Amino acid sequence: MSRKRSTAKIKDKLFKLVAIAFTTIALLSLVLLIGDILIKGFARVNWSFLVNLPSRHADQAGIYTALAGMVSLLVFTMITAIPIGILSGIYLEEYGKDSWFARFVEVNISNLAGVPSVIYGILGLQLFVRTTGLGNSILAGSLTLALLIMPIIIVSTREAVKAVPDSLRQGSLALGATKWQTVYKVVLPASFGGILTGIILSTSRAIGETAPLIVVGALAYVPFIPEGPMDQYTSLPIQIYNWTTRPQADFVTNAAAGIIVMLVFTFLLNAVAITLRNRWYKKVKI
Amino acid sequence: MTHLESELKKLREDTEAMWHLVISQLEKTHTALTDFDKGLCREVIATEKRVNSMELALDRNCEHLFALHTPVAIDLRFVLAILKINNNLERLGDIAEGICKYLLSEDQAYDKQLVTATQLDEMFVKALAIVEDTLTAFQGEDTKLARTIFQKDEELDVINNLANQRLTEYIGQRPDNIGQALNTLSMIRRLERVGDQSKNMAEEIIFYLEAKVLRHGGNKKKKLH
Amino acid sequence: MVQKSQDIAVATANKLSANRLSLYYGEKQALRDITMGIQANTITAFIGPSGCGKSTFLRCFNRMNDLIPNVRIDGQVTLDGKDIYRKKLDVYEHRKNIGMVFQKPNPFPKSIYDNVVFGLDINGERSRSVLDQTVEDALTKAALWDEVKDNLHKSALALSGGQQQRLCIARAIAVKPSVLLMDEPASALDPISTAKIEELIISLKDSFTIVIVTHNMQQAARISDKTAFFYLGELIEYTDTGTLFTNPQREATENYITGRYG
């Protein structure tokens, strides 16, 4: 074998080893983190933990209200963000393509997706909590979160719609369909998988947000279940955060347990959404 | 049936129609000779126009078939064969017309002795049979039958070869009827060509079916396989 | 005055016609002063080298060129004697009367059934029996019924290329248009599928007026009644197919069809 060939072979093997090493490091870090949490909190996760109200006593404290708050927040966030996000995405991609307005919006949306989430909290505080007088209600929190995740939904909707081949639109129009009929009957169904992905991503993001919620007034200690959108609330990340600030060691355990519940919740949500998306792709692709 | 197949079918049908027409021309000519019917001769001459226009139509159809369908393999050989058979049939039509002209040029029926001595009538019958057999071979895509045409043509050649001598004898005996004698010689020559044309057509049939070229010395006498 | 009445005569005698049609993409002129008439229930082929404007011209008949920005039309295009670029024309209704089949089969990612009924669905047809019957008729006419009748609810994308194209043809004819425009319908298919599509197109002649753009001259020769040769946006020669391929009048035409072009 020539000199060059053997050097190339060595480089090849080296690269492989380096890649494996780095992957291992990354995975190891993840394993260590999760392992640590599990060790700390696994024992604490039981039925009472899930259904108890918060308490000053660590062993009596539970995440019931936090869960309720999180679910309520999620519902209202989705109701607001999904329709607006999808329709905006469709408008930008199908209708507004060449207008200055669309381009202006497009540039800004890309920027918005990268803005730190706490900024949204400040915006929400001024706009929803104070100016419109919603106070520190679930509605204010949801609207703030909706603003935060909307760019994600818009961008993924746009990408999904863009990925629909133009030949399908042409085929539809050639049959005498109007633009709206084409969007509604051909483009949307074909891009649904991508749109669903966007919704999944944004849901995961919304669940895990802590900073903006603190800014708009999610309380740390909420001993009641929110009954309406105007009620005060808390959410699981906030509850966890709150526990980690307490000095007692038992609260650290609680925090770890809360994190485990959060992780499980996130995984479940993703799993459901991914299953739905795969089922959809199967219908559409084969 | 594909578009090309239906075009080829039509080409075959048109060719067979022309073939039938030419056979009827020869049959009428034969009857005109036997019965000395000048009216029939005129009919044949008038119908010759139709034969010619059929030739033109077939040529045009073949041209279109080549241009529009670019046939290959057996379809290509078939159309090439039709082009040639077309010409052969047209010449058969000419032969019938020509013989009729010889009949028209005489005022009286041809001398029976002349006709018998030269085997003119027999030759006519054989010639007609050859043309009919070739048509049958074409219709049935029968190369076996086609190959028998070569032998049958030889029978016509025999009569043709004897004609000179027989006519010389006849003229010796009947110098007053030299006109009819000479006409008879011409008619015999024409009928011999009927055999040649049929032979050509048989060669084309074998060509398109077997892709064998028998023209100019290809092995005609080979036993059937 | 005489010119105008001649134009009207051309327009009314033909199913489709173009009269001094020019088309511009911005500054660039893609079609130059085209005048021709297409009779009902005929198959007309448009041939010519790439970029000669044959597809552009085809798309004028169903106003699909409207979708391209900066397109401008001069002259007239008529269907059944009426100008299709007139202000009052409802483009959507017009397109329902003209079916189009594209080069690359483009079935929707839906079931075979839903693909075929799409045209009726957008017209608001909801009757199950009407839809079922239409599906059977259209697929039968497109020579696809026997192959798919037991699998109507399977995805259209599971079909082979040739089957997909026949499905697109079924979809186009399901709304019973009077004209079928086909833009190189067989160019993306293998020879056997191509042959099937060609036989299918011939069989549709009785019910539709068909215009087919093709870069395959032999295909044009095999299936069309009249052929139009285009070059650099101009209509060079338009005559009976038999004549064009045996004795073209223009040298440019002869150069193209004999392959001496370029």
**B224 confidence band (pLDDT: 50, 70, 90):** very low
pTM of the model: 0.79
Please tell me whether residue B70 adopts helix, strand or coil conformation. coil
The reply to whether C157 touches chain A by the CB within 8 Å rule is yes
Q: Are C112 and C153 in contact (CB under 8 A)?
A: yes
Measure the CA–CA gap between C108 and A85, rounded to whole angstroms.
25
The reply to whether B70 touches chain C by the CB within 8 Å rule is yes
- Write the pLDDT tens digit of every residue in B91-125: 999 999 999 999 999 888 888 888 888 899 999 99
pLDDT (0 to 100) of residue A286? 39
Q: What per-residue string of b and e applies to B23-45 under the rule 16 or more CB within 10 Å gives b? A: bebbbbbbebbeeeeeebbebbb
The interface predicted TM-score (ipTM) is: 0.92
Measure the CA–CA gap between A254 and A268, rounded to whole angstroms.
21
Top pLDDT among A129 and C240 is at C240
Q: CB within 8 A of B50, min separation 6: which ones?
A: B21
Residues in chain C: 262
Looking at the 3D structure of chain B, how many domains does it have?
1
- How high is the mean pLDDT of chain A? 85
In degrees and rounded to multiples of 5, residue C234 shows phi and psi of -110, 150
H or E stretch at B105: none
The reply to whether C222 touches chain B by the CB within 8 Å rule is yes
- Write the pLDDT tens digit of every residue in C194-249: 999 999 999 999 999 999 999 999 999 999 999 999 999 999 999 999 999 988 99
Where would I find the H helices in A91-165?
100-112, 117-124, 138-162
Q: How many CB atoms lie within 10 A of CB C151?
A: 13
Instruction: Answer yes or no: do C122 and A174 touch at CB < 8 A.
Output: no
pLDDT(A243) > 50: yes
Measure the CA–CA gap between A235 and A216, rounded to whole angstroms.
12
- How is residue A53 annotated by DSSP? P
Q: How many CB atoms lie within 10 A of CB C230?
A: 26
**Range of the structural domain that residue B166 is part of:** 3-217
Instruction: Answer yes or no: do C218 and B3 touch at CB < 8 A.
Output: no
Instruction: Report CA C68 to chain centroid distance, whole Å.
Output: 18
Quick check: is B222 in a domain?
no
Q: Are C202 and C233 in contact (CB under 8 A)?
A: no
Domain with CATH 3.40.50.300 in chain C: 1-97+180-262
Please tell me whether residue C160 adopts helix, strand or coil conformation. coil
Tokens 């009929």 correspond to A181
Identify residue B95 by its one-letter amino acid code.
Answer: I
- How high is the mean pLDDT of chain B? 91
Measure the CA–CA gap between B151 and B129, rounded to whole angstroms.
13
Angle of helix A249-284 versus helix A64-90 axis, rounded to 10: 30
Q: From B68, which residue of chain C is nearest by alpha-carbon distance? A: C221
Q: Are C175 and C117 in contact (CB under 8 A)?
A: no
Quick check: is B101 in a domain?
yes
- Write the pLDDT tens digit of every residue in A261-270: 888 888 888 8
Please tell me whether residue A285 adopts helix, strand or coil conformation. coil
Chains that touch A (3 or more CB pairs under 8 A): C
Adjacent-strand bridge partners of C79: C16, C82
Measure the CA–CA gap between B60 and B75, rounded to whole angstroms.
17
Query: Across the interface, which of C67, C102, C154 has its CB nearest the CB of A171?
Result: C102
H or E stretch at C209: strand C209-213
Instruction: Answer yes or no: do C92 and A190 touch at CB < 8 A.
Output: no
The reply to whether C224 touches chain B by the CB within 8 Å rule is no
Domain C1-97+180-262 sits in CATH 3.40.50.300: yes
Structure tokens given for C221: 């020769």
Interface residues of chain A, partner chain C, Cβ below 8 Å: 98, 165, 167-168, 170-178, 181, 185-186, 189-190, 283-286
Quick check: is B223 in a domain?
no
Measure the CA–CA gap between A86 and A77, rounded to whole angstroms.
14
Quick check: is B157 in a domain?
yes
Tokens 């925090």 correspond to A255
Identify residue A105 by its one-letter amino acid code.
Answer: V
pLDDT (0 to 100) of residue C157? 93
Give me the CATH number covering residue B167: 1.20.58.220
pLDDT(C6) > 90: no
Where would I find the H helices in chain B?
3-35, 38-69, 73-104, 112-118, 120-140, 143-173, 178-210
- Write the pLDDT tens digit of every residue in A189-236: 999 888 888 888 888 888 888 888 888 877 766 777 777 777 788 888
Structure tokens given for B32: 């005109």
Tokens 């009947």 correspond to B174
Measure the CA–CA gap between A45 and A62, rounded to whole angstroms.
10
Measure the CA–CA gap between A185 and A176, rounded to whole angstroms.
13
Q: CB within 8 A of C51, min separation 6: which ones?
A: C232
pLDDT (0 to 100) of residue B221? 53
Q: Are B104 and B157 in contact (CB under 8 A)?
A: no
pLDDT (0 to 100) of residue A178? 94
Measure the CA–CA gap between C61 and C178, rounded to whole angstroms.
12
pLDDT (0 to 100) of residue B217? 72
Of C131, C137, C147, give the one whose Cα is nearest residue C173. Answer: C137
Identify residue C253 by its one-letter amino acid code.
Answer: T
Structure tokens given for A163: 């990925």
Measure the CA–CA gap between A111 and A113, rounded to whole angstroms.
5
Residue C92 to chain A, least CA–CA distance (Å): 5
Contact of chains C and B by CB distance (3 or more pairs under 8 angstroms): yes
pLDDT (0 to 100) of residue B223? 46
pLDDT (0 to 100) of residue A253? 83
- Write the pLDDT tens digit of every residue in B150-177: 999 999 999 999 999 999 999 998 888 8
Measure the CA–CA gap between B194 and B200, rounded to whole angstroms.
10
Task: Please report residues of A whose CB lies closer than 8 A to that of C94.
Answer: 176
- How is residue C111 annotated by DSSP? B
Please tell me whether residue A128 adopts helix, strand or coil conformation. helix
Q: Are C18 and C77 in contact (CB under 8 A)?
A: yes
pLDDT (0 to 100) of residue A58? 74
